[in-house]
Structure 1
Amino acid sequence: MNGQTREQLRAIHAYQCVRAVPPGIRADYKPRVHGLGASVLRDGLAAALTFLEREKKADERAPLETNAAMRLLSDLAKSLEKAPIPELKRRLATMSLPDAVRELKLEEYMLATRETLRLVVWFRRAVQATFKDSEQTRAQ
């Protein structure tokens, strides 16, 4: 055992992901992170991820470094791979995150939703602590 709680591991991973976001997409990444939790609560996890997926597909040729929706989906997938949800881990090995979530049974779907909401809290905190004010105001 490494002595760190799951909450600490979520925080560490979220900060690592957010620090790695290229400056060119930070203004786009921030509102997506800030809106994700509300979208999950309002519409459900599958719908919130589908919205990001649709945004990703609008500019699918763009590399990960220039597409904020694509970057956020990738960051969430990496984070959820570490979650204690075996069925989700198994599906993420061969599917995209939105597809994997849509295939989950109710119990795993609920666990994935809770885990995503916990992750979003840390992603929001990381964005607020990491992105400079000038980057934040450009998105508004």
Structure 2
Amino acid sequence: MVEADGRQEALLRDQQRALHAYEAVAKVPKALQDDYKIAVNDLGANILRSGLCAAVAAVQRLGERGTLLLDHLASAGVPGLEGVTADHFAKRVRELDADAYMIATRELLKVAVWLKRAVQATFGEE
């Protein structure tokens, strides 16, 4: 947002998450949309049910289908996970101390919600 004097107002964290989610989802190739949608829809529930490490492991088990989602999670700018790539995302999550793990869990739940909203709005119904 640009104010009257030309200054750009800082985005709130939730606005940053939304912007990231919509930009990431817009780049999902048509051929991968069905698998991506399933993975995104499962992510939040898996984090709540089994914890962040187990949810990330579930995405890893998807193989190539999960790599795109891991890339989007890695690039979300979650505290403690900045600058990590999709290839090293799970390892970095496992290396977090307890406090950082709890923060990352909360933040990634919020990212998962925005990714799910973006998928619902962008992919539409077949």
* Superposed pair shares fold, TM > 0.5: yes
Amino acid at match of 2:121: A
In the TM superposition, structure 1's runs of 4+ consecutive aligned residues that sit over 4 Å from their partners are none
**Cα offsets for 1:31-52 (capped at 9, x unmatched):** 1101100000000000110111
The alignment status of 1:68 with 2:70, answered yes or no, reads: no
Match of 1:60 in 2: none
Distance (whole Å) between structure 2 residues aligned to residue 23 and residue 88 of structure 1: 28
Q: Is the 8 A contact 2:75 2:82 kept in 1?
A: no
Q: Is the 8 A contact 1:88 1:108 kept in 2?
A: no
Distance (whole Å) between structure 2 residues aligned to residue 30 and residue 89 of structure 1: 24
Q: Is the 8 A contact 1:46 1:98 kept in 2?
A: yes
Match of 1:89 in 2: 82
Match of 1:117 in 2: 109
Distance (whole Å) between structure 1 residues aligned to residue 31 and residue 24 of structure 2: 15
Distance (whole Å) between structure 1 residues aligned to residue 14 and residue 81 of structure 2: 19
Q: CA deviation at 1:68?
A: 2.7
Q: CA deviation at 1:54?
A: 1.9
Greater fraction of residues in helix: 1
Amino acid at match of 1:130: T
Amino acid at match of 2:68: R
Task: Calculate percent identity across the aligned residue pairs.
Answer: 42
3-state SS, counterpart of residue 88 of structure 1: coil
Unmatched tracts of structure 1, length 5 or more: 57-66, 135-140
**Cα offsets for 1:67-108 (capped at 9, x unmatched):** 3311000110001xx23x2x4326x26x61111000100000
Q: Is the 8 A contact 1:40 1:47 kept in 2?
A: yes
Amino acid at match of 2:91: D
Residue 54 of structure 2, aligned match among 28, 47, 65 = 47
RMSD: 1.8
The alignment status of 1:102 with 2:99, answered yes or no, reads: no
TM-score normalised per structure 2: 0.87
Alignment coverage as a number of residue pairs? 119
Amino acid at match of 2:45: A
